Structure 1
Amino acid sequence: MSSGSGSLPRYIAQRLLLMIPMIWLIVTMVFILLRVAPGDPVTAAVGGKLNEEALDARRAALGLDRPLIVQYLDYLGDIATLDFGKTISDNRPITSIIVDNGGATLSLTIGAFAFALLMGIPLGLLAGRYRDSAGDVVIRIFGVVSYAAPIFFIGLLMQIWVAGPLGLPTSDIASPITKFQVEPVTHILLLDAIIAGDTESTVDVLKHHVLPCFTLGLLLSGVFIRLVRVNLLMTLKGDYVEAARARGIPERYVIRRHAFRNALVPVITVLGLQVALTLSGALLTESTFNWPGLGTQLIDYLTARDYAAVQGLVTFFAVVVVVVSLLVDVINAAIDPRVRY
């Protein structure tokens, strides 16, 4: 094997090349699935609101009157320039929806990951450290239940049982007065409130984040609990751990300095895979908590049967998942050289 076959730049180049056909396949599937749906998308979205002449004009503006192959090639060209099209129902650019509402989904996702890691990693380490104990059984049951429980059901329980005693808001990303006062600079409301130096608004936004982020974080924590536990058990069987024990190193130091650190390496790999799960969970979380993110927008356009909007948002979600997976793979390859081969 050549010396450069395992180099990081070569690995990144290979992953970039693989990303192109992956994105092409996803966007092609989205295009085809929405085109085989019965009915005319313009009529489905705004039929009965416009006369036939106006409907024809809307079809022409969206390019739906052209041959299918021309629509497909135009669609690929638009995606290449990050143009995800326009909605049918309100003729709004998808890019503006992503800019205006993407920050809410991003803050929800980051907050959920933070809760998931804070819950999943310590519980997984404890379960693996005290294998087959009563605590291990309880933690494993918690991991299974948190992963399998319907997220909207958990959200409703949080609103009923937790919001009242803790004085937490049950819906929206902030109070109306906060959204009015904070100027949208980054379109991430929490970050905008911090930039503005508005402590009261920052606290208000943080309070609104607690329940949605914790609810979605519960779903992800079950994955991390099982992953960390299994990898810790495998690590504890490693030769270097046995060698450390043979040298008389106390068990707590063996686990802390050798086993724990190596058991956490696979978590980085799984982070990219959990992005798709997080986005799918965000749809229900945003709907449950009336969160003004992309998931809420997607559900609204699905209800309105606006297939152009659905196509643009689903394509954007797919591209995000592929790009994040690429970044995680690169980080993992930089940490563990064995991944490059």
Structure 2
Amino acid sequence: MTRSASGSLPRYILQRTLLVIPMIWVILTLVFFVLRVAPGDPVSAALGGKLDDEALDQRRAALGFDRPLIEQYWDYLSSVARLDFGTTFSDNQSVLHVVRDNGGATLSLTIVAFIIALMVGVPLGLVAGRYRDSLPDVLIRLFGILSYAAPIFFVGFLLQAYLAKPLGLPTSGMATPQTIFNVEEHTHILLIDVFLNGNSIYIEDVLKHLILPATTLGLLICGVFIRLVRVNILQTMQSDYVEAAEARGLARRKVTWRHAFRNALVPVITVIGLQFALLLGGAVLTESTFNWPGLGQKLVDYINDRDYGAVQGIITIFAVAVVLISLLVDIVNALIDPRVRY
């Protein structure tokens, strides 16, 4: 039985990896054609006020917009396969360079928000499940519902209005200009670079700027973790082996920690990929609310400028990243829970 289970893991990983290929193809196809059917000429929309008609025609030809749609589609797929995600129309900059310069800010915001959601949601879900139908359970469930029902921009506004001044927290930007200017860039991720720099003043500055936007974004999925952990705690506490452990005289607190809590974490791991994707989408609104200089804010700027090339490239990278993260989470989940492999 053990040999069969261990032998099925490579097959499961191979199947999930192969499934990623058509998923990415469908996503790329949707991105391409949805943007292509948008009204208007993207080159004229992005550069109409900067170039004359002849220059616009030359630019359109250089970008391949004078060619048949199927040829443009094939070129797009071929470019993505070579990890070439195109260039921006407005300043002819590589989309990969845009992601490199701005993606670190979004990644650090998303990861910290995810950690906050776990640190808040999992313990609250444990308490709610442990004390079912009590006042703490009711209040925690209400908090969970509000956390994922309230719009991000509204939550951000409330935190800015009621927490920023009393706690002395900034409401805009990623750091002060002094920190950004003085911290040597090693990784294009300021949160990492300030720790590599070792200056406690700069570290404190970056962390202070991170608290409100990361909390706002983390609350988006906090309620999901509360509900998952609570439901699985309740199910596990009613299982036969937990009742048997209690019958042997084990304290309920020890039973809750040793059996119920550990089993309740498996569903949390299962939905990590989906929730991380939700955070990436929520980062767009969060960055706009807090003027956070990340990829989401950059995407909004490009949409306002109608820079079709940048929008297509950034959305493509977002989508592919979400699929790959989901694949990684599925593999980790299969390692933790062998039942997933069948």
TM-score by length of 1: 0.97
What runs of 5+ residues in structure 2 fail to find an aligned partner? Answer: none
Structure 1 residue 170: deviation in Å?
A: 0.7
Query: SS of 1:3's equivalent?
Result: helix
Q: Is residue 5–residue 338 contact of structure 2 (8 Å, CA) maintained in 1? A: no
State whether structure 2 residue 132 is matched by structure 1 residue 131: yes
What runs of 5+ residues in structure 1 fail to find an aligned partner? Answer: none
Alignment of 1:115-154 (within 5 A): 115-154=116-155
Structure 1 residue 220: deviation in Å?
A: 1.3
Deviation per CA, 1:115-151, whole angstroms, max 9, x where unpaired? 1001000000000000001110000000000110011
Q: Is residue 16–residue 326 contact of structure 1 (8 Å, CA) maintained in 2? A: yes
283-292 or 191-200: which moved more? 191-200
Structure 1 residue 306: deviation in Å?
A: 1.2
How many residue pairs match? The answer is 341
Q: d(CA) in 1 for partners of 2:152 and 2:174?
A: 18
Structure 2 residue aligned with 1:307: 308
Structure 2 residue aligned with 1:230: 231
Q: Is residue 4–residue 10 contact of structure 1 (8 Å, CA) maintained in 2? A: no
Q: d(CA) in 1 for partners of 2:63 and 2:193?
A: 35
Q: Is residue 124–residue 226 contact of structure 2 (8 Å, CA) maintained in 1? A: yes
Q: d(CA) in 2 for partners of 1:30 and 1:78?
A: 14
TM-score by length of 2: 0.97
Q: Is residue 232–residue 264 contact of structure 2 (8 Å, CA) maintained in 1? A: yes
Structure 1 residue aligned with 2:333: 332
State whether structure 2 residue 265 is matched by structure 1 residue 264: yes
Structure 1 residue 6: deviation in Å?
A: 5.3
Structure 1 residue identity aligned to 2:200: T
Q: Is residue 173–residue 209 contact of structure 1 (8 Å, CA) maintained in 2? A: yes
- Runs of 4+ in structure 1 off by over 6 angstroms are none
Q: Is residue 102–residue 295 contact of structure 2 (8 Å, CA) maintained in 1? A: yes
Deviation per CA, 1:239-274, whole angstroms, max 9, x where unpaired? 111111221222111111111111111111111110
Q: Is residue 153–residue 286 contact of structure 2 (8 Å, CA) maintained in 1? A: yes
Query: SS of 1:281's equivalent?
Result: helix
Q: d(CA) in 1 for partners of 2:213 and 2:302?
A: 22
Structure 1 residue identity aligned to 2:265: L
Q: d(CA) in 1 for partners of 2:55 and 2:80?
A: 27
Structure 1 residue aligned with 2:35: 34
Structure 2 residue aligned with 1:273: 274
* Identical-pair percentage: 68
Q: d(CA) in 2 for partners of 1:228 and 1:6?
A: 31
Q: d(CA) in 2 for partners of 1:265 and 1:203?
A: 34
Query: SS of 2:163's equivalent?
Result: helix
Q: d(CA) in 2 for partners of 1:256 and 1:63?
A: 61
Structure 1 residue 282: deviation in Å?
A: 0.4
Alignment of 1:234-245 (within 5 A): 234-245=235-246
State whether structure 2 residue 298 is matched by structure 1 residue 297: yes
Q: d(CA) in 1 for partners of 2:217 and 2:5?
A: 42
Structure 1 residue 198: deviation in Å?
A: 2.2
Structure 1 residue aligned with 2:180: 179
